[in-house]
Amino acid sequence: MRGCTPHRVALAQGIPGCLVKMAFLLWIIWVLLVYLSSVLADFHPRPLLLDSVSEHFASADLSAPSKVSVACQATRYPDICKTTLATDPRSASSDSTALTQLAIDLGVTGSSRDSTSILQMKAGEPLDLDTAAGADVCFESLDYAVSTLTTARNSLTISPIEDIQAWMSAALQFQYDCFSGLSNVPNPPADLMVTILPQVNSTMQLISIALSMADALAYYGTDTTLWAPLPEERPQDINAILKTTNPMWAKPIDACTSHPPAGTNTPDVTVALDGTGTYSSIQQAVDNAPTYGSMVYIIYIKSGVYNERIRVHKNKTMIMFLSDGSNQTIITGSKSASEPGVVTYQTATVVVLGNGFVARGITFQNMAGSESRQAVAVRVDSDLSAFYDCIFDGFQDTLYAHTGRQFYKSCTIRGTIDFIFGNAAAVFQDCQILFRLREVPGNPTAVVAAQGRTDPGQTTGLVFQNCTISATPEYIQEELANPTAHNGFLGRPWKLFSRIVFVNSFLDSVIEPVGWLAWNGDFALSSLFYGESGSSGPGAVIPSRVAWSNQLSVEQAGFFSVDTFIQGSRWLPCTSIPYTL
């Protein structure tokens, strides 16, 4: 045969060398075809398995562009992912962890660039009130996005993967807040619509890509040839997630290293209105707390009504508010979105940003009234934060569980519509959730929760365990007098991938038999996840529930436990707050 060169081994065995080469070449082609068929196959909870030889060949010899291409298949935007990562020289020798770090880095670069663009817009022509408010929210949110992304990037190889997912979920929400704040401006400047908004949206896609990669690391492990989009969220797929989450990433840590114990709850400082404390203002006490403290700093707030707006900045970590009791220590305000140039995000009486925040026995109020539209009592962006025996009192949008992992134990939350909302991973345990009467008649609808998950990769949602869903005495009295005057619902989808779950909760007659309310037509009905497990009471009319909600088994409900959903066993013991895993 022309061009056929003898091969030493072939000659020894009496076999022409060219045939050996051809056979080896055919074997390589077969291996590649098997590999490509697994990548291009329809989605499976896990990709098709290859035999050990071909699997090793595929993972060991993939070129950098191929590694990027395979990794990007796990994201919502594979084409953008491929073109963006492959053009960066750092992807040339990247493994799965390094590729994820690179994706996060690109998100940091994008958010920083967006922040510069907002500053330039603010420094240009004077902005109207609405545009200025949107720009302020955007600029603040981008600052949080950059710092949270940086933390995730620097911690990727040393922190539990659940932490990375939580931080990336928060970073994506911050970037979305910027986009949403600018999108809702009534009369936007031309450069905002033409340049800045598309730019912010592009960064949002990059952060989503990085989040998807972090999720893939958690779900599939470090071998990118196994990566694929996560299963759609349905009860049967939760079973798959529970069975296949990669245990190598479940790194145990000493919870008290990251969240030191409260000890004997001896106050570091005291706040008293009558001048008998260290400070007469809560904000003064917060401002003088240690910066980025690593030990709990206890601010004891004596009884009284504190009419002040409080901001626990992100550098004020490990702060605890301790009180004389929830009916004794009251922090109140009345800012609302009905004021010119004010958006919901800016209305909170108390804003908590510093991680590791704890409140015990505090009443948080926003008493702007139901005629004043959205008016937040507390906005929480504190990761690993906990509230015990607290009262949250308001009307529309009372409690803004915005980002981070949060725990609420034995709390009372009152409001009218969407009064528990946001995109945190929050668990409410043994809480009283109460509808209250609207001051302005005409709208009979009352809704407990509006969850704002914008991306299927976000590890967020609102979970209610052993809670009581009922109403104030005034509401119940009017309900009894006119049963058709009010319609109460468990939740409605504020955003596309909204996720709300009720576990072993008592639902009073104030809840309509259908249980859940659509937001607008069929928006999000095919992508949300609403579930119940073990509901009881006159409002638990399970056969009448809307078709787009789910009834969960005990095993499936376990996915939303304190331990699994917010990793509570790692940090709650050090808060001295009782809890059930």
What tokens does 381 get? 């962006």
CA geometry: angle at 518 spanning 456 and 545, to 5°? 95
Contacts of 72 (CB under 8 A, 6+ apart): 78, 79, 81, 82, 85, 209
How far apart, in whole angstroms, are the C-alpha atoms of residue 463 and residue 552? 13
* Tokens 């914008």 found at: 454
Q: What is the 3-state secondary structure (H, E, C) of 172-185?
A: HHHHHHHHHHHHCC
Helices (H) and strands (E) in the chain, counts: 17, 26
User: 430 near 137, Cβ under 8 Å?
Assistant: no
Q: Pick from 272, 252, 436, 422: which is nearest to 344 by CA? A: 422
The span from the CA of 112 to the CA of 434, in Å, is 42
Beta-bridge partner residues of 269: 299
Residue 274 falls in the annotated catalytic set: no
Sort 551 into a burial class: Cβ within 10 Å, 0-12 / 13-18 / 19+: middle
Which listed residue (381, 418, 455, 508) is catalytic? 418
CA distances, 9 to each of 2, 4, 5, 21 (Å)? 20, 14, 12, 11
Active site residues: 418
